[in-house]
Structures are given as C-alpha cells and as structure tokens.
Structure 1
Amino acid sequence: MGAVRGQAAMAALAMCGALVLSACQNGDDTAAPDGPPGAAAPSAPGAPSPAGTPAGPAPSKPAASAKPSAPAGPTGKKPPAPAPSPACDHKMPISPDTIAVYRYTPEGGSHNLIVRHGEFGCPGPFEPVGKETFYPISETAKITATAPILPGEVTGKPISTHELTSWVIAHPNSGLPFRYHLNADGVIDTLDEVYVK
C-alpha cells in the first residue's frame, strides 16, 4: 500500500515536471537574459542578433543643421523687403540753356525778357530758382511756341517776337520754360517753348 502511494507520488511529480518543461519550450524564446525587466542584450551595430536575424541598421550620422532663416518680426512674419531707393535722389544742376519767362520790359529802347534760371525736377517740371534777371531778345529771333501761348499745340510752331511779348504782357508771371541761345552780343536769337501739360 505504501509502495503504491510512493509510485503514485512519483508519477504525479513526473507529470508536473513534463508540464513545466513543455510550458518552457512553448513560451517566449526571445526572453532577455538576466537583468532588469525589459532590458535587451546589447549588440554591436550591424551584428546578427542571437536569434540569427540581422539587427537593425547602424545609426546614421546626425543630419547637418539647416541654415537659420531670417529673424521673424514681432508678428512672427518675416519683415518686408526694403523699398527700392528712388530713381533720382540728388539735386539736379541748374539748366544751362533753359529759362522761365516772367515779364517783358522795353527799357533801354530794346526788347527785354525778365527771366529766372532753374532746374528740371527729377523727374518733374522746370523749377525756377534764384533771382530774376533780364535778357534782351532780338526782333528777328527764331521763336517757337506751344500751348498755352498757342492753345492746343504740343509741338513748336514759329511765332514772332511781337507775338511773344504781347502774350507775356497779357499773362505776366506765367514762368513758362523756354530753351534759349545767345548770340555773340549776349542777345537771345533763339527761343523754344518747352511744352508743359
């Protein structure tokens, strides 16, 4: 009776041992060796893993940092590009051949135009500067005129000295620009009105 019980106990132990062995063989084959839970065995980059499968790719070099962009403005947007400088940012020189005609005077027994020198804007109309002075004009001067002396004309049309002086007397201080030329005696012999819109 005791022998039967001993054999039964031995059979039970053998069955338990077989169950434990079977459970170990069917369990996770990739269990980590001794160490903290979840820790994997270190391996060299590119070396095969213990299970025979190749390890992941070797870590690549860190990417070069991108060039920093321009600093953003207070609103987070890039500041606007500076406006282009104006096409003309300097003072123009006095025009050597242009005058603004203001009045007419026959003082001294000759025809005289009271004028001012000036400069053309940049760009812009003729701008008189300096003090008034006078130039004598020849009675036979070659003169061309446009509007407003000849209304509606945009290209120069010939007029006489008398026609010019009559208009200037009727419209004093108009300051109309004219290109002029002086003869050897310092008298205007050519006068061409500059058309102004």
Structure 2
Amino acid sequence: MGAVRGQAAAAVLAVCGILALSACQNGDDPAAAPDAKPSAAAPAAPSGGAEPSAGATAAVPAPSKTGAAPKPSATATPAGKNPPAPAPPPAPTCGADHRMPVSPDTIAVQRYTPEGGMTSLIVQHGTYGCPGRFEPSGPWTYIPISEKAKITATAPILGPGTVMGKPISTSELTGWLDTHPDKGLPFHYHLNAEGVIDTLDEIYVK
C-alpha cells in the first residue's frame, strides 16, 4: 500500500516538472526575455492612400475666439438717450458776403430832374448789408414822383437829431436835393397804378 502512494506522488511531481518546463519554452514568463525589443507598430495610412512624409507633424487647431465678447463701438449711443444736436453754425460777421437780395421797395435818392414836364427822382436800388444799412448798387434810374406825394423825412433833411419822420412836400424834398446832391439817402417808396411815386418815407440812419 505504501509503495502505491509513493509511486503516485512521484508521478504528480513529474507532471508538475513537465508543465513548468513547457511554460518556460513557450515564453509565458515575462522575465524570461529581458533583452527583447518591442517591435515598431506600422502607422495606419491616412485616407486617400497618401503616406505622411518623414518629419511631418500634425497641425494643432487654433483656439476658438467665438467665446470672446464683442467690444462696444466708440460711437454707440446709450439706450434711451438721443444723440446731442449739432451746434448751430456761427453767425456771419461784418465784412462777409452776406447781402440780402435786392430790396423791391427801397431806393437811394441821389438827385432829381424836372425834364419831361414832371418831377422825377434819380435813384438807385440796392440791398441791406452789415450792420443793416441800405447799400445802393447798380445803375441810376428815373422814377416820376407826384406833386401830391405823401413824403416823410428825418435827419439829415430836417436837421440832426430828428429821428421820427415828419411830413414834407415834394418841393421841400427837391429843394434839399438841390443843395445836397448824391447823398443817396434811403427811402421806402410805393407806386400808384400809373407807376408814379405816391408815398415816400425816409429811413433814419445814424
């Protein structure tokens, strides 16, 4: 009986030895080949069949800027507020070309003439300049005046300091023009249906 057990134990030991030897020969022990070098894995070819060139590096995408908040415009107007109104242009100064159109009812009286059997004033039309004075311009023309015209005069016809207009006759006006020709005093005038002056009012000038 003891001999049988001894043979069985020997058989088990023999089997274990055979298994250990088989494991060493098959390379299952990782420490059995310390000098073994790993084989280089072949890189996968990119789609399209073209192989990457030696030393080529993969491109790294730039970081996205979509998350950055947009900067407000320097000219943006805050909500609920109107933009300021532009400043008005400066007023023209004396000396600038700012004359008004030719005045239709103002004349500068220079002289008179009794030719043709009727008294006519020799006048110039003109414009109002700076600072509001009437400035005669253009040719001298003739306008007949009625002997019964309503005429008002101030200084200098009625003397210095006379500001308010006072009535005078046509003969008083022509008498003053005899001794003071070419003064160009401004008058507002009105024509009747026959084109004759029936109203003449002197404009006071300081």
Counterpart CA distance in 2 for 1:91 and 1:159 is 32
TM-score, normalised to structure 2, is 0.54
Deviation at 1:115? 0.1
Counterpart CA distance in 1 for 2:194 and 2:91 is 45
Partner of 2:92 in structure 1? Answer: 86
User: Aligned runs of 1:167-182 on 2, under 5 Å?
Assistant: 167-182=176-191
5+ residue gaps in structure 2? Answer: 1-73, 75-88
**Farther off after superposition, 116-125 or 96-105:** 116-125
Amino acid at match of 1:146: T
User: Aligned runs of 1:10-159 on 2, under 5 Å?
Assistant: 84-86=90-92, 90-151=98-159, 152-159=161-168
Deviation at 1:169? 1.2
Query: What SS is found at the alignment partner of 2:125?
Result: strand
Partner of 2:202 in structure 1? Answer: 193
5+ residue gaps in structure 1? Answer: 1-66, 68-82
Counterpart CA distance in 1 for 2:106 and 2:91 is 29
Structure 1 pair 170–89 and aligned structure 2 pair: CA distance change class (3 A): closer
How many residue pairs were aligned?
A: 119
Deviation at 1:192? 0.1
User: Whose radius of gyration is greater, 1 or 2?
Assistant: 2
Deviation at 1:85? 4.1
Q: Write the deviation string for residues 20-61 of structure 1: whole angstroms up to 9, x where unpaired.
A: xxxxxxxxxxxxxxxxxxxxxxxxxxxxxxxxxxxxxxxxxx
Please provide the CA RMSD for this pair.
2.4
Counterpart CA distance in 2 for 1:117 and 1:185 is 20
Counterpart CA distance in 2 for 1:90 and 1:126 is 13
TM-score, normalised to structure 1, is 0.56
Counterpart CA distance in 2 for 1:85 and 1:96 is 25
Instruction: Report sequence identity in percent.
Output: 71
Counterpart CA distance in 2 for 1:84 and 1:133 is 38
Partner of 1:27 in structure 2? Answer: none
Task: Decide whether the 8 Å contact of 2:150 with 2:167 is kept in 1.
Answer: yes
Counterpart CA distance in 1 for 2:157 and 2:173 is 8
